[in-house]
Amino acid sequence: MKLKTDFLIIGSGISGLFLAINISNLIPDRKILLITKERLHDSSTFHAQGGIACAWNSSDNFKKHIRDTLVAGDGLCNENIVSKIITQAPERLQDLIDLGVEFTRNGNGEYDLGQEGGHSERRILHVNDQTGQSVEKVLINHVKALKNIEIKKFWCAVNLYAKNFKCYGAYVLDQESEEIHTITAKATVLATGGAGKIYLYTTNPDVASGDGIAMAYRAGATISNMEFYQFHPTCLYHPYAKSFLITEAMRGEGAILRNLNGENFIEKYHPLKELAPRDVVSRAIDAELKKSGDDYVLLDIASYKDPGFIRSHFPGIYENCLKFNINITKDPIPVVPAAHYCCGGVVAGINGTTDVKNLYVIGESACTGLHGANRLASNSLLEGLVTAYECAHYLVEEIPELKTKAIPEWEPGNAVPSTEAVIISQNWDEIRMAMQNFVGIVRSDMRLKRALKRLNIYSEEIDDYYR
């Protein structure tokens, strides 16, 4: 089937949804097609717990937030981009509030600002420990109500159609009909998130497999800083707890990390202890585990906060941990570091522009220069909002100049239905294991050489399978 649209948005996290809403509000007579490879809420946004960073109260200011971001990024941030994104935070947060997101308030009726690692002030606006879920639901409801936005679920982008550094649309697999659709668009926007599923342990949902970044690379876009994959220090360790994050806000409220001997080890690694930047805490836990041979460490909030406080501030974590017979009001939580956020990606401006004309990349898929070598906690949803807003306004100005071009039908070649899917699933498991062990939190020349050798073998095997 051939389709034609003004704007093709691939991805349904905060950046894709917020972009669609902004374009629709600015030019309601233009056609927008938003596709997602699973359900609308299957995104990293939905799983985000902590919140959105913003210099909101009188004791805080943009300079402090900018400084904290630069320190976390270890000297590799683009200071101009950092300033532009941080200073937009209050406006974009107000946009969410106007759309209906109800951030948690304290007993005085003021917003309850959370404290997270790397932040010098309390500045995290949140909806208890379910911020992403709340934001995602509000945005989905608004997108569904806008008449010029067509939504397609279970449509997986297979490849972009680009020639001579110009993008004209995409080939998309309808996973229900198993048909490849050809979509022509004046502008194609990738809001496809990160690639955490290439690691054995990750906080990301299954959809975060790096598809968008790979497609952009094949189209000719520049990729940068992919080596800077952030590992979140505290992912729940349990054989049946799939990708469940324990928010950094818990450490902001006093939770302590201990090894299995009960020792608070983190103070040996950084003066900020549990509130050090994520990369520091993750490396500290990794070092302790390698030294002890244990599989996990413990995060203890029960010894420092009363049960009522824990249940009211962390209801999502409380309920989920109970499913695994862990009562966080009484028991410490077993945790391990896990792949969490792609600090690199497709090189893009704050408005999503790339080296490929008519191809735009926003949110986690993009490398704008905000995060540098390590993302500051709760800056990710903020970046998604700002880049979506800037991209929408840029596209509205550019739309008179944007032209469509017919693209050829998908050529399936000699492809036939798989009869040996176990081979590919085995390769996936091997890739994840190799990435976890050799390209994880701590790397060495020997490990990286081993990873490269292994990945080249897997690549050849997969190519042979599909020939």
Q: Which residues of 171-195 are buried (b: 16+ CB within 10 A; e: fewer)?
A: bbbbeeeeebbbbbbbbbbbbbbbb
Helices (H), 231-328: 249-252, 278-292, 307-313, 315-322
Q: Let me know if 447 is a catalytic residue.
A: no
Report how far residue 367's alpha carbon sits from residue 362's, in angstroms, rounded to the nearest whole number.
8
Edge-to-edge, what's the strand order for the sheet holding 366-367? Answer: 223-224, 345-347, 366-367
How many other C-beta atoms lie within 10 A of the C-beta of residue 325? 8
> What is the rounded (10 degree) CA torsion for 445, 370, 46, 145?
-140
**What phi and psi, each to the nearest 5 degrees, are found at residue 453?**
-60, -45
Strands 223-224 and 179-190: unpaired
Distance in Å from the first CA to the final CA of the chain: 25
Angstrom distance (rounded) from CA 80 to CA 370? 9
Q: For 432, how many CA atoms within 13 A lie in the half-sphere containing its CB?
A: 18
212 Cβ contact partners less than 8 Å away, ≥ 6 residues apart: 10, 11, 157, 190, 191, 192, 193, 346, 361, 365
The type of residue at 40 is L
Q: Are strands 366-367 and 345-347 parallel, antiparallel or unpaired?
A: parallel
Which residues, 6+ apart, have CB-to-CB distance to 216 below 8 Å?
160, 190, 223, 346, 354, 356, 359, 361, 365
Half-sphere exposure of 295 (CA within 13 A, CB side): 7
Please state, in angstroms and rounded to a whole number, the distance separating the CA atoms of residues 128 and 126. 6
Which of 92, 123, 251, 278 is flagged as catalytic?
278
- Residues classed as catalytic: 278
